[in-house]
Amino acid sequence: MEQSKRLAYSILVSRFFLSLFISALILVQPCSGMSSEVKEKTLSLDNCIEIALNNATSAKKAKLNLKLQGSDVLRSYGNFLPKISVSATYTPYSLSQTYAQYYLDVPPFKIRSESGSVNMTLTTSLNLFNGFSDYASLQSALNKEQAAEYTLSRALQSIVYDVTQYYYQVLMNRELLDIAKENLLSIKDQLTLTDRQFQIGLKSRTDLYQQQAAAAESSLSVIQAQTRMQRSSLELLRRLQIDPRTKITLDSNPKELNRARSSKPDIDSLATIALERRSDLKSKELETRAAKWQITQSRSAWYPHLVLNANASTAGTDYLRQSYSGYSAEYSYPPVSDQLRNSIGYSVGLNLSWSIFDGFQTSYNVQSAKVNHLNQRFDYDDLKNNIVLDLQQAANDYAAAVMQIETSKVSLTASSSAFEDIKRKYELGATGFVELSTARAALFNARSNNSQATYNLALQKSVLDFATGTIPYTIDTKIQ
C-alpha cells in the first residue's frame, strides 16, 4: 500500500514539473514567433467602440445600402419628370445608286447620287398616367430609405454591444488569471513551508506529496486561465479589425462597472421603451409599408397608360450630285446652318396603351406582392413578440446578477476568514491537508465567483440596453 502511494505521489510530482514546462513554453513561444515590431496600445471601452465603429465591415455595408436606397429615391422622383433625348447624325459622304424609268418605251436608267447631310432630333415624353405605378414606387423607395437608416443604426448598436461584451470578457478572464496566479503563489509558499517542516520532521511525506500535487493542479489552472484570456483577447482584436499582432492593454476599472440599476427592472416600462426605440423594429415596420406599396405598383398594369410625346427635328444637305446616262448635275443648297435653322419641324402626340390580356402575368405579380407584404407583416409581429420575450429574459438575468453579486461578496468574506483560520491550524499541525485544500478551493472559487459576478452584472446591463435599443454610440454616419 505504501509503495502504491509513493507511485501516485511520484506521478503527481511529474505532472507538476510537466505543467511548469508547458507554462514556460507558452510564455516563450509568442515572443519567438512574433515580429520584433509589435505594436502596443492602451485602450478604454470608448476607444474600442470607436475603433470598431470605424472599422467594422457590417457598418460599412449598411452605409453603402443606405446610399443605394437614396439613389433609388432619386430615381423614383425622376419618373415624374419628362424623359429627354437628343440625337444628331452627320454624314460627310453618302452614295446611293438606283434605277428609274420615266417612260414605258424607254429602258430604265441608273441614277448615282452623292451627298453630305446633317440631321438633328430632340425627343421628349411625359408619363401622364400609368396606374399610380410611379407614385407607389416613390412611396416604397422612401420607406426603404428610412428603413435603411434604422438598419444602419441597429448595426452600429450591435457593434457596440458585441465589443462591450468581449471587452468585459477580456477583463474578467484577466482578473481570473490574476486570481489563479495568486492562488498558485500561495500554494507554492505553502509547499515551501511544508517542505521545511518535512525536513525537520513536523510534516509527513504524504503531506509534502499532497502539497506538490496541489501546486501542480494550480499550475494547470493558471495555464487554462491564460489560454482563456488569450482567446478572448484575440476575439476582441477580431472585432476591432486592427493588426492581429497588436498588443492591447485594457482599462482595468472602466466606469461602466460602477453603474447600478434597480434589482427588479420594470418589464412594462422596458417594453414600452423598446417598442419605441428599437431601430430594427422601426426598420421592419417601414419595410412592411414599402411591401404594401409594391402591391399598388403591381396593380398598375391593369390600368391604361397615357404618355405625352413631343419631338423636334431638323436636317440640312451639304451637297448633292447626281449622274445618269452620261449626264451629271450638282445642286446648290443654302448654308447648312441656315437649313438647320429654317427646317425645324415639330410634332406632339398622345399615346394611349392598355394591356387587355397578358396571360395572367399581372395577376401573378399582384399575388406575389401580397404574399411578400404578408411575410413582412409576419416578420414584424414575430420581432415585436421576441423583443418582449428577450426583455423578460434579460430583466430576469439582470435581477439574478444583482443577487449573485451580493451572495458572492458574502461568500468571499466567509471563505477568506475560514481559510485563514484553517491555514493557521494546519501550520500548527492541528488540522490535515484535506481541510486546508478544501478551504483553499472554497476561497479560490469565492474570489472567482465574485469577479465573474461583478462583470456579469455589467454584461447584463449591456444586454438590457441592447434589448431596449438604448445603447449609445457616436460616429459620423455620413456616406463617404
Which segment of 321-330, 396-405, 463-472 scores lowest on mean pLDDT? Answer: 321-330
Is residue 436 located within the same domain as residue 388?
yes
278 pLDDT more than 70: yes
Where does 203-312 have alpha helices with state H? 205-240, 267-277, 279-299
Give the per-residue pLDDT at 210: 82
Is residue 332 located within the same domain as residue 193?
no
20 pLDDT more than 60: no
Taking every pair of Cα atoms in the chain, the longest distance, rounded to a whole number of angstroms, is 149
Crossing angle of helices 361-427 and 279-299, rounded to 10°: 170
Any domain includes 289: yes
Confidence category of residue 253, pLDDT binned at 50, 70, 90: low
Where does 360-432 have alpha helices with state H? 361-427
The answer to whether 171 and 249 have CB atoms below 8 angstroms apart is no
Q: Enter the pTM of the model.
A: 0.78
Any domain includes 479: no
The answer to whether 298 and 358 have CB atoms below 8 angstroms apart is no
392 pLDDT more than 70: yes
List pLDDT tens digits, range 153-194: 999 999 999 999 999 999 889 888 988 888 888 888 878 877
Any domain includes 201: yes
Residue 17 and residue 28: Cα distance in Å, rounded? 17
Q: How do the residues of the chain divide into helix, strand and coil, expressed in percent and rounded to 5? A: 65, 15, 15
Mean pLDDT of the 382-410 span: 90
Is residue 339 located within the same domain as residue 376?
no
Any domain includes 475: no
The answer to whether 213 and 16 have CB atoms below 8 angstroms apart is yes
The answer to whether 205 and 198 have CB atoms below 8 angstroms apart is yes
* Nearest CA among 163, 146, 157, 86 for reference residue 121: 86
* Amino acid code (one letter) for 116: G
* Nearest CA among 253, 182, 272, 257 for reference residue 455: 257
Give the per-residue pLDDT at 427: 75
The answer to whether 212 and 435 have CB atoms below 8 angstroms apart is no
Q: Is the dihedral of CA 293, 294, 299, 303 positive or negative?
A: positive
368 pLDDT more than 80: yes
Which segment of 260-264, 291-295, 348-352 scores lowest on mean pLDDT? Answer: 260-264
Is residue 286 located within the same domain as residue 190?
yes
388 pLDDT more than 60: yes
The answer to whether 256 and 358 have CB atoms below 8 angstroms apart is no
Cβ density class 344-375: b for 16+ within 10 Å, e for less: eeeeeeeeeeeeeeeeeebeebbeebeebbee
- Highest mean pLDDT out of 13-27, 178-192, 202-216, 231-245: 231-245
314 pLDDT more than 90: yes
3-class secondary-structure state, position 92: strand
Is residue 186 located within the same domain as residue 279?
yes
Structure-model confidence comparison of residues 261 and 336, the more confident one: 336
Is residue 183 located within the same domain as residue 47?
yes
Residue 174 and residue 28: Cα distance in Å, rounded? 19
The mean predicted confidence, pLDDT, of the chain is 84
29 pLDDT more than 60: no
Give the per-residue pLDDT at 30: 46
Mean pLDDT of the 446-469 span: 88
The answer to whether 311 and 124 have CB atoms below 8 angstroms apart is yes
* Nearest CA among 348, 358, 355 for reference residue 307: 348
List pLDDT tens digits, range 63-78: 999 999 999 999 999 9
Is residue 262 located within the same domain as residue 187?
yes
98 pLDDT more than 50: yes
Is residue 381 located within the same domain as residue 447?
yes
List pLDDT tens digits, range 188-222: 887 887 788 788 887 778 878 887 888 888 889 89
Any domain includes 135: no
Q: How many domains does the chain have?
A: 2
* Amino acid code (one letter) for 324: Y
Is residue 238 located within the same domain as residue 377?
yes
Any domain includes 228: yes
Is residue 72 located within the same domain as residue 217?
yes
Confidence category of residue 420, pLDDT binned at 50, 70, 90: confident
Give the per-residue pLDDT at 212: 85
Is residue 280 located within the same domain as residue 336?
no
Is residue 258 located within the same domain as residue 187?
yes
Angle at 218 between CA 217 and CA 223, to 5 degrees: 95
Mean pLDDT of the 75-87 span: 93
Give the per-residue pLDDT at 38: 55
11 pLDDT more than 90: no
Share of the chain above pLDDT 90, in %: 43
Contacts of 181 by beta carbon, 8 Å cutoff, 6+ apart:
222
Q: How far is CA 448 from CA 183, 231, 264, 366, in A?
A: 11, 18, 25, 61
Contacts of 150 by beta carbon, 8 Å cutoff, 6+ apart:
279, 280, 282, 283, 286
CATH code, domain carrying 260: 1.20.1600.10
* Nearest CA among 143, 133, 140 for reference residue 296: 133
Residue 138: how many other CB atoms lie within 10 Å: 20
- Per the structure, the complete domain to which residue 12 belongs is given by 2-81+140-304+358-468
* Nearest CA among 131, 145, 124 for reference residue 66: 145
